[in-house]
Amino acid sequence: MAGQAAATTRVPQEERSRVMRGRLLDATVELLVERGYAGTSTTLVSERAGVSRGAQLHHFPTKQDLVVAAVQHVTEARGAELRRAAQALPRGRGRTRKVLRVLGDHFTSPVFTAALELWVAARTDPQLLAEVQRLEREVGRETHRMTVELLGADESVPGVRELVQATLDLVRGLGLADTITDDRRRRTRILDQWAATLDATLTLTPERA
Amino acid sequence: MAGQAAATTRVPQEERSRVMRGRLLDATVELLVERGYAGTSTTLVSERAGVSRGAQLHHFPTKQDLVVAAVQHVTEARGAELRRAAQALPRGRGRTRKVLRVLGDHFTSPVFTAALELWVAARTDPQLLAEVQRLEREVGRETHRMTVELLGADESVPGVRELVQATLDLVRGLGLADTITDDRRRRTRILDQWAATLDATLTLTPERA
């Protein structure tokens, strides 16, 4: 009986803890987008999240812990969204164009902006850099894998791997351009043209047919 | 005689002023690269440049004046270098690949890093943003024009303008990737493949033949 009581108490505690963590991470991303890395402080985050300083320090002892976890958290959540959106796209003619537009939207979302703040801050902060490089390797590998799948690209064909990488570097460059100017129309034209070029260049696999 | 004396005095003064300005701008770019936008102060710049605070304030009253002028100055200087390097490339087979490698080097230079710091800072600073948008429009237009010329691309052919833009967004994305990891080998493979794709896609103009 005592064990059962402890178990029912523990579950809501774990749930409360999970919710609190989520609120802290969401508040951090919002602040990175609104005020940039330099303008984001742990005090502002706890205020925004409505979480006590003590509870915040328990979950994330330093600003670095908080910002890295926040970017990782939203990247994973958005990655899952991106996958669902892209998997819902119809096969066949025009698919590449739609896949690229979904990727373009992904790289111009607040998640990209928050990640950009983290990358740029990491450049001049060696401790943060090690964490961001680790995160980038994981995210980069997963995004590449998903893009190969979505495009139905056959990487055993010479040059195809590089074209998939180029596609991701292109959308990263478009994401950066979009941070200081509303670039949607230009981006759509560029991605549509790149889709036509990719379709003409990539070897078709059964999945693309 | 008095007029002549004034003229000979004025010339060295103008020259001294020009040299001092150049030292301030170079120091600003160095500090943006080493310490980022938040870590760059006007005090550090005057110390690094060996220029008195008074003289610095005379030339650039605010941090914003200084950083925008610095990025504009080095962008123009590097743009001229880029043009000379690219114009020295041989015509004919393999030229596109070489042009892209020169562009790739340009977008991974300290000038790109300094500009990146400025872009990201401008995102959350409305006054700086207006200046950076103006600068970006000028630089973007000029870089596009030069790339068209270097690739010998015929923009009257549908889709060619978008592929030139895509090329510049690609190298911007590669530049961003390079700020947190040494990306040279991957970048070279991607650019070489992009060159092959461009060569197969762009309509040849007499200049490319």
Closest C-alpha to A124, from B46, B40, B129: B40
Q: State yes or no: pLDDT of B129 exceeds 60.
A: yes
Contact at CB, B120 and A179, closer than 8 angstroms: yes
B74-84, pLDDT tens digit by residue?
Answer: 888 888 888 88
- Count CB neighbours of B32 within 10 A: 27
Crossing angle of helices A110-123 and A2-35, in 10° steps, is 80
Q: Quote the pLDDT of residue B82.
A: 84
Q: State yes or no: pLDDT of B11 exceeds 80.
A: no
Closest C-alpha to A205, from A170, A155, A162, A169: A155
Domains and CATH numbers, chain B: 63-208 (1.10.357)
Check CB contact of B52 with chain A, cutoff 8 Å.
no
One pLDDT digit (tens) per residue for chain A, 209 residues: 455 555 556 678 888 889 999 999 999 999 999 999 999 999 999 999 999 999 999 999 999 999 999 999 988 888 888 888 877 888 887 899 999 999 999 999 999 999 999 999 999 999 999 999 999 999 999 999 999 999 989 999 999 999 999 999 999 999 999 999 989 999 999 999 999 999 988 854 444 44
The predicted complex's ipTM stands at 0.89
Alpha carbon of B68: minimum distance to chain A alpha carbons (Å)? 15
Alpha carbon of B198: minimum distance to chain A alpha carbons (Å)? 9
Whether B169 and A170 have beta carbons less than 8 Å apart is answered as yes
Contact at CB, A121 and B36, closer than 8 angstroms: yes
B26-65, pLDDT tens digit by residue?
Answer: 999 999 999 999 999 999 999 999 999 999 999 999 999 9
Contact at CB, A176 and B173, closer than 8 angstroms: yes
Residue B5: pLDDT band (50, 70, 90) is: low
Q: Quote the pLDDT of residue A161.
A: 96
Q: Quote the pLDDT of residue B80.
A: 86
Q: Which has more pLDDT, B87 or A111? A: A111
Those of residues 137-196 in A touching chain B at CB distance below 8 A are 159, 162-163, 165-166, 168-177, 179-181, 186, 189-190, 192-194, 196
Whether B6 and B16 have beta carbons less than 8 Å apart is answered as no
Alpha carbon of B110: minimum distance to chain A alpha carbons (Å)? 12
Q: Quote the pLDDT of residue B66.
A: 96
Contact at CB, A190 and B124, closer than 8 angstroms: no
Evaluate the CA torsion angle B122, B167, B188, A108 in order and state its sign.
positive
Whether B21 and B49 have beta carbons less than 8 Å apart is answered as no
